[in-house]
A and B are shown apart, each in its own frame.
Chain A
């Protein structure tokens, strides 16, 4: 990192470009096409080049059976698959199914938690991309319209 930066400074050109896009040095750009896809198929095609993923029981997807509140649904994904490059969350019935894509760097364990929004009852798919292919598992989460508390 340090050497790279010094090199750029020495080069003295394209400094503005690099400064404006610092994250391109660190990770891939935000995948706008995949995030704007309206179906899970489109999103996966855009993200992985194929909507075909191998179902895997080596992925653990922890989501509630009935969401207390569709605006805050706790989710944890972990996997024993090796050489994981990315973990994605796809909520099939959301207007834009791709919720998040986590790029797992070397040294980071393939185990992430977050809180997501769900518009309605839907399958939630955890997609794990490794150096040998794409794997997935799904669970349904029921989203109900609240009474008084909701």
Chain B
């Protein structure tokens, strides 16, 4: 199966720009199921962590106000080809996902 996290990284000089997209419903808990009328329980990523070669680069603490299928981008210095980039998240229901990629 295809991964539920995607990463695009672009190195220019010393800088790397990292873009990431992941599949997650990011349910607010206020939305109703159109068929049953029942509230759909809150379900959202709480913490998303980016690491470069095991060093934490960015931690995103999130609420349900992040759009469904979340997207993030940031830039970091001191990056070079061969560096290992890892993205991982945990959500409020205990779900997790992660993806590791090597910068090219």
Residues of A that sit less than 8 Å from B by CB: 1-2, 23, 26-28, 30-31, 35, 71-73, 89, 91, 94-96, 98-105, 107-109, 111-118
Contacts and interface: CB of A to CB of B under 8 A. Distances in A.
Interface string B25-60: 010101000000000000000110101101111111
Interface string B49-77: 10110111111111111111011111111
Contacts of A26: 49, 51, 56, 59
B66 A107 contact: no
Given A105-B59, A113-B73, 4 more contacts: A27-B49, A35-B61, A35-B63, A115-B71
A103 B50 CA distance: 11
Contact of B47 (A27, A72, A91, A115): A27
A120 B71 CA distance: 21
A100 B60 contact: yes
Contact of B70 (A73, A105, A112, A114): A114
A109 B63 contact: no
A109 to B, nearest CB: 4
Given A100-B61, A102-B59, A114 B71 contact: yes
B58 A105 contact: yes
Interface of B: 15, 26, 28, 30, 46-47, 49, 51-52, 54-68, 70-78, 90
Contacts of B66: 99-100, 114-117
A111 to B, nearest CB: 5
Contacts of A113: 71-74
